């Protein structure tokens, strides 16, 4: 299957428990500490290399583990790093350390969840307003599910079924015009089965004949809902220009 970045239903979920936090943190610390030298050793790593390891830890915490918004007491961070790395007696037991980490992650997630809920409600209301205005435009049809479509070019080929694989060109935007995905920009059509994409696409593509170009306005609950996806905010209504090139079966 060719690259198709946004529409697939599968999403990665961040779910943290004491067990998997311990595993993730242990992996990061093992990678960073294994082979590190004491800073008073004659063969200690130089400053730039030591600094690079600090960058690696921040990258792992942010990129691989998703903890972008954690802020540290860097003196205490350095102390914990040094005590653990030099096999000194640590101020906290491993169990207490994991308890502290879990509490920090829980607080961070609660804050992020609240922010996403507020953003989702804002996006949802703006989307509903847009859908309300759009449905009275000439040429726009609203289906019972709430999907809105407009025929830009009517083709003469067959229509795909709910499990058919199709080849399309498309561009997806938010209601403010922000482009979040485009096969046109990549220069490569997308290919995918209709039962592997958001429900607004599954429904909408079955309305199209090969050779058609439609404009879809997809309510949040037919797209990514309160979770959002990548650069798509939670609760967002999405707009797609879709060109059905062929049905691949």
Which amino acids are annotated catalytic?
A: 170, 180-181, 198, 224, 240
Q: What single-letter DSSP state applies at residue 140?
A: E
Contact 184, 191 (CB under 8 A): no
Q: How far is CA 116 from the centre of its chain?
A: 13
Spatial distance between the Cα atoms of 222 and 62, rounded to a whole number of angstroms:
31
* Block residue for tokens 């915490």: 61
Spatial distance between the Cα atoms of 220 and 123, rounded to a whole number of angstroms:
9
Q: Rounded to 10 degrees, what is the CA torsion of 12, 14, 19, 21?
A: 120
Structure tokens at 226: 């309160």
Q: Which residues share a beta bridge with 170?
A: 242
Q: Residues with Cβ < 8 Å from 217, sequence gap 6 or more?
A: 130, 131, 134, 140, 147, 148, 149, 237, 238, 239
H or E stretch at 32 = helix 18-33
Spatial distance between the Cα atoms of 40 and 48, rounded to a whole number of angstroms:
16
Helix (H, G, I), strand (E, B) or coil at 142: strand
Structure tokens at 78: 């350095």
């Amino acid at each position: 299957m060719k690259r198709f970045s946004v529409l697939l239903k599968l999403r990665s979920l961040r779910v943290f428990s004491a067990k998997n936090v311990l595993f993730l943190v242990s992996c990061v610390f093992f990678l960073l500490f294994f082979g590190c030298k004491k800073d008073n050793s004659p063969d200690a790593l130089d400053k730039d290399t030591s600094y690079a390891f600090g960058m690696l830890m921040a990258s792992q915490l942010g990129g691989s583990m998703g903890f972008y918004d954690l802020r540290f007491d860097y003196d205490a961070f350095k102390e914990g790093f040094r005590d653990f790395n030099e096999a000194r007696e640590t101020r906290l037991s491993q169990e207490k350390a994991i308890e502290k980490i879990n509490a920090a992650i829980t607080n961070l997630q609660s804050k992020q969840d609240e922010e996403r809920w507020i953003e989702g409600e804002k996006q949802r209301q703006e989307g509903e307003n847009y859908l309300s205005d759009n449905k009275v435009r000439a040429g726009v049809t609203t289906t019972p599910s709430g999907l809105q479509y407009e025929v830009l070019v009517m083709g003469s080929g067959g229509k795909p079924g709910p499990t058919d694989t199709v080849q399309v060109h498309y561009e997806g935007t938010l209601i403010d015009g922000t482009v979040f995905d485009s096969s046109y920009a990549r220069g490569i059509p997308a290919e995918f089965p209709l039962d592997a994409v958001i429900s607004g696409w599954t429904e909408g593509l079955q309305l199209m004949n090969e050779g058609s170009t439609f404009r879809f306005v997809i309510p949040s609950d037919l797209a990514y809902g309160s979770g959002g996806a990548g650069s798509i905010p939670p609760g967002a209504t999405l707009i797609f220009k879709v060109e059905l090139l062929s049905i691949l079966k």
